[in-house]
Structure 1
Amino acid sequence: MITYYRDPDVLVTSTGVRMSGRDYRLGDLAEVWHRQGRRSWSAVAGRGALGLAMVIPVLVGLLGIMVALVIDASTATTIALAGGGILIGLAAAPLADVLLEFVDRSYDRGSRRREIWARVRGSDVLLLDTDNAQRFGQIYRALQRALDHDSVPRA
């Protein structure tokens, strides 16, 4: 028996599938397909907020430098404003690294519900319902590999 995918809730092997607490033999799955739900705008808005959080310190730093160069102030004030602007801009680099990690994770999770369906003994059965895009892709590919393996003629 070959194991194509395993996690605490899902098992896909060369002989069968366990999803949603139910077991199915590969031969019972007459047809398998997937569906995507509607986009979660809160996930998209969260990514936008992360993008703004990365850009705002750079913009504030640039604004500080521009103000320092435009206003007619003493040399010490000009240097303090320009230096502060540079420091704020430089502080954005480590912040951006942390925020980019959150953006990567949000894309792994995805912004839609994803479902795997199968026709089992004439009935349509929901095998999996998740909003984790990466996990969905791994499970769906594993299921396809298992079904392809199962369709190979055996001697």
Structure 2
Amino acid sequence: MTTYYRDPEVLITSSGVWMNGREFRLPELIQVWYTKGARSWGVIAWRGALGLAVLLPLLVGALAVLVALLLDMSLGTTVAMVVGGILVGLAVVPVADLMLERVDRSYDRGSRTLEIWGRVRGGDVLLMRTNNAQRFGRIYRALQRALEPAVRR
């Protein structure tokens, strides 16, 4: 028996599938497909807010340098504004890595609900529902690999 995927809630092997508290032998699954739910605009807005949090200090720093160079001020004031603008821009660097990592993780999780459905003799059954796009992809590919040899027989 080959194990294609295993976690505490899902087990996919060459002999069967255990998901959502139910067990199915591979020959019982006539057809398997997935559906995508509506986008979560809250997740998308959160990504945008993180992007703004990274870009805003950079823009403020660049604006300070631009204003310092365009306005006719004393040399000391101009140098102070340029250095201040550069420092504000550089202050975002340590935080930017953390923010961009959060954006990456939000893409791994996805912005919509994903479902795997299966057709058995008794009708259509929901095999799994998740918001985690990365986990969904692994499980769906494992399910396809498990069903592939059964189709060739």
* Structure 2 residue 52 is matched with structure 1 residue 52: yes
TM-score (norm. length: structure 1): 0.93
Alignment of 1:75-86 (within 5 A): 75-86=75-86
* Structure 2 residue 95 is matched with structure 1 residue 95: yes
Counterpart in 1 of 2:23? 23
In structure 2, distance between residues paired with 1:114 and 1:24: 20
In structure 1, distance between residues paired with 2:149 and 2:79: 69
Give the residue type in structure 2 aligned to 1:122: G
| Backbone CA RMSD of aligned residues | 1.2
Q: Displacement of 1:139 after TM fit?
A: 0.3
Give the residue type in structure 2 aligned to 1:6: R
In structure 2, distance between residues paired with 1:132 and 1:109: 4
* 1:151 partner SS: helix
Deviation track 1:110-129 (CA, whole Å, cap 9, x = no partner) reads 10100000012231100000
In structure 2, distance between residues paired with 1:148 and 1:17: 13
Counterpart in 2 of 1:106? 106
Give the fraction of aligned pairs with identical amino acids, expressed as a percent. 62
Deviation track 1:18-75 (CA, whole Å, cap 9, x = no partner) reads 1111111111111111000001000111111111111101100011112222333332
* 2:8 partner SS: coil
Give the residue type in structure 2 aligned to 1:98: L
Give the residue type in structure 1 aligned to 2:14: S
Q: Displacement of 1:148 after TM fit?
A: 0.3
